[in-house]
Structure formats: C-alpha cells, structure tokens
C-alpha cells in the first residue's frame, strides 16, 4: 500500500516508490486543493492521480478526502472519468462506508 499524503508524482518520489516493488493499493489524497492559494497546489487532481497510476501501476486505487470539505476544488467524478481507461480498479467509498482488501 502506498498512502501518498501530500506528495505528487514527481520523478524523485516515483523512483523511490517504484524501488519498493509492486503496489496493491494506491491511496491518493485528491480534490485539487490549494490551486488558487498562497501555498499552491497541496493535493492531487485527477490528472496527477492518472500520472501516478500510469507510473506505479497499482492493482487498486482508493482516493481519499474527495468529498469531505468545501475546499476540495475538483469533484470526484473527474477522477472516475479519467480512470475509465485504466486496468487498476478504482474504489470510491462514500463517507461513512468501508472497504476491505484481502
């Protein structure tokens, strides 16, 4: 499992993560937060997640923080649409729901 935190698919990060081996579940922070703020972009948008999926080739993608607060600028449907061409399964879990992996 790779929980991205506030990282982005930059070359240095991707090289270190790829060196660890295959990823079963990628847990990206999404929503495109901060694109207009003083700190710049602080969470991934759909294009960033797709880039990361292309490079890391996880089996499953479990996006988090996508629908919890009004500061998230990009709706989750944009990631759902962007992931349609990928083999990696996308698990969008509703607030208060659970998902189990084995």
The residue whose two tokens read 């600028």 is: 73
Q: Does residue 96 form part of some domain?
A: no
pLDDT of residue 18: 96
CATH number of residue 35's parent domain? 3.60.15.10
pLDDT of residue 70: 66
102, burial (CB in 10 Å: exposed 0-12, middle 13-18, buried 19+): exposed
Going residue by residue through the chain (102 aa), what tens digit of pLDDT does each one get?
A: 999 998 999 999 999 999 999 999 999 999 877 766 667 778 899 999 999 999 999 999 999 987 776 667 788 899 999 999 888 999 999 888 999 998
pLDDT of residue 1: 94
* E-state strands within 1-102: 2-3, 25-27, 60-61, 89-90
Q: What's the number of domains the chain is made of? A: 1
Q: Does residue 37 form part of some domain?
A: yes
pLDDT of residue 40: 76
Which contiguous run of DSSP H or E holds residue 51?
Answer: helix 46-56
50 three-class SS: helix
Q: Does residue 97 form part of some domain?
A: no
9, burial (CB in 10 Å: exposed 0-12, middle 13-18, buried 19+): buried
Provide the residue range defining the domain that includes 64: 2-90
Q: Does residue 101 form part of some domain?
A: no
């Amino acid at each position: 499992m790779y929980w991205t935190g506030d990282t982005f698919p930059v070359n240095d990060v991707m090289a270190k993560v790829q060196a660890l081996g295959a990823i079963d579940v990628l847990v990206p922070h999404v929503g495109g937060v901060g694109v207009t703020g003083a700190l710049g972009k602080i969470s991934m948008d759909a294009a960033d997640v797709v880039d990361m999926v292309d490079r890391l080739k996880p089996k499953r993608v479990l996006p988090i923080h996508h629908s919890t607060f009004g500061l998230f600028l990009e709706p989750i449907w944009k990631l759902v649409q962007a992931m349609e061409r990928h083999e990696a399964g996308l698990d969008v879990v509703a607030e208060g729901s659970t998902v189990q992996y084995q």
